[in-house]
Structure formats: C-alpha cells, structure tokens
Amino acid sequence: MNVALLVNFLGLIDEMKTRGEIVKEFERVLDLYGFDYYGIVRQPKPNEDPLSLLLAGRWPEGWPQIYIKKKYVIIDPTIRYLGHAQRGFRWRDTVVAFRSDPHRKRMERMMIEARGHGLHDGYIFPVHGRRGLLGNMTIGGRVVDLAPVEMNLFDAIAKKMFWRLLELTDPAVSEELISSVEVQMTRREMEALNYLADGMTSNEISKVLNISNHTVDWYMNGIQEKLKAKNRHHVVALSFRLGLIS
C-alpha cells in the first residue's frame, strides 16, 4: 500500500501545465503499483470507435484493434456494469453479475483473449457529470490487490485526470460538459415527467394528476420542445442525463 504516493499525485494534477507532464507522472505511479496498462476515455456509444475518444492510454500491442474489430464494447462486462456503478470496481467481479446473461459465453471468451494479451485483471472507475456517465479510467495488467482506501484514491484520481486531460486536449467539449443546464420546467411538467419515467401512459398520468389526456399530452409536447427531444423515449433519456430525474 502506498497511500502517500496517490495523495501526492492527486494534489499535483492541477499544478501540472501540460498533458505530457500529467501522463508521465501518472504512468510512474502505475508502474510503482505494478499496473501495466491503462486507459482514460470518454464514454463511447455502441457505434463509436473508443480510440477516437481516448484521452490517454497504454495497451498491449494489437489489443485495441481486436477489441474494436470484434465489437467487444457491446458485450464487455466491465463496460456494461459501468452503467450502473457509482464507484470503481474490479474487472473479474463483473462476469459474476452477468452469469445469466445470454452473452455470457462471449464475455468469457473476451476475458480469456484479454488474458492472452496480458490483461489478467484490473479495475475500472466511472466518471459522472450532470449528463450521466461521461467516461472512465481503467487500470490493469498483472493482478494487483487494492485496499478500500486505495480504491477511493484511484476513484478521485480518475475524476481529476478525466477533467484535466479533457480540458487540455479538447477545451470546447470540456466547456460543453461542465456548462450549466438551463431547462425551466413548471411543477406540473416535472410531475408528468417523473410519472413518464416510471413507465406510465398518458391515460395513467391523467388519472393520477386528475387532468385530461389532452392536458397531459400538452405538457409532454412542451417538455419535448424544451429538451429538443425526438420522442418521449428520448425525453426520459435526456432527463436522466441532465439530472432532471433520478
């Protein structure tokens, strides 16, 4: 355990002026801990190339190409688990969570192939913002056991590294993600929105609020226009991302 090393690095991140300085010092920390590989990446959509969203990383030769070619991002248990996680977790713990999943065998094949490239185990730390899950930091390679206090410090480092590297590499995107969300909703619109997120229909919402279906639809159209959403499903998705509902 080297808590002092992590605390010291955490305090230095904001003081370092360039991406190169931050990455070099971070890789020194990882080397001292015994981690061979890492990645700090913005959250990709299923059809996006994760490498195009990479802020910093060091991977086994050929592994990123295999990962993309075989579309492992769709079934990767660590990425799927990431959508529900609020803090960092260990790679190997995620397969157990999907033991009944129809893609379980493909997940296991991916993990076996990853181990063949030196990725035996590791950890992944989510980075959240007002718009939901924004990215993550993953570290791994050889098997390294982290204590709870070290997990908490790496979790803090993940968030600090993500925002600092994004600020240095793409300030426009950084500004967009940290900008305040200005969506003014009435009390009735917020009530209707929360019921919609619970899966209720217009008819069900109208009965709960004691208003007509037409009025509910009027609220929904107003919400959709304010969020610039394509449909009601999009309304719910955007509302979760923006923190309007939870």
Q: Check whether 180 has a pLDDT greater than 70.
A: no
- Percentage of the residues of the chain whose pLDDT score is greater than 70: 91
The CA–CA distances, whole Å, from 192 to 75, 234, 237 equal: 34, 15, 15
Q: What are phi and psi of 201, to 5 degrees?
A: -85, 170
CATH code of 195's domain: 1.10.10.10
What is the per-residue pLDDT for 204? 92
Evaluate whether residue 246 is within a structural domain.
Answer: no
Tell me whether residue 222 is in a domain: yes
Answer for the pair 20, 168: CB distance below 8 angstroms, yes or no: no
> Domain range spanning residue 231?
187-241
The Cα 30–Cα 141 span in angstroms is 11
Q: What are the tokens at 66?
A: 């295999």
Domain count of the chain?
Answer: 2
69: in domain: yes
Q: What is the pLDDT of residue 238?
A: 82
- Residues 89, 92, 94, 97: is their CA dihedral positive or negative? negative
Under a CB-based contact definition with an 8 Å cutoff, are residues 94 and 137 in contact?
no
| Rounded CA separation 41/231 (Å) | 29
- Alpha-carbon distance of 80 to 126, in angstroms, equals 11
Question: What per-residue confidence (pLDDT) applies to 182?
Answer: 65
Asked if 104 and 194 sit in the same domain, the reply is no
In sequence order, the β-bridge partners of residue 81 are none
pLDDT tens-digit map of 52-78: 789 999 999 999 999 989 989 889 999
The residues that bridge with 90 in the sheet, in sequence order, are 123
- Angstrom distance (rounded) from CA 211 to CA 53: 46
The answer to the question of residue 51 being in a domain is yes
- Cα dihedral 198→202→204→209 (10° resolution): 90
> What are the residues facing 127 on neighbouring strands?
135
Query: Is 94 in the same domain as 22?
Result: yes
Residue 51, pLDDT > 90, answer no
Q: In the prediction, which pLDDT does 228 show?
A: 85
Specify whether 24 is located in the same domain as 136. Answer: yes
Q: Does 9 have pLDDT greater than 70?
A: yes
Same domain, 51 and 172: yes
CATH code where residue 32 lies: 3.30.450.80
181 has a pLDDT exceeding 60: no
| pTM for this predicted structure | 0.76
**What is the C-alpha to C-alpha distance for residues 225 and 230, in angstroms, rounded to an integer?**
9
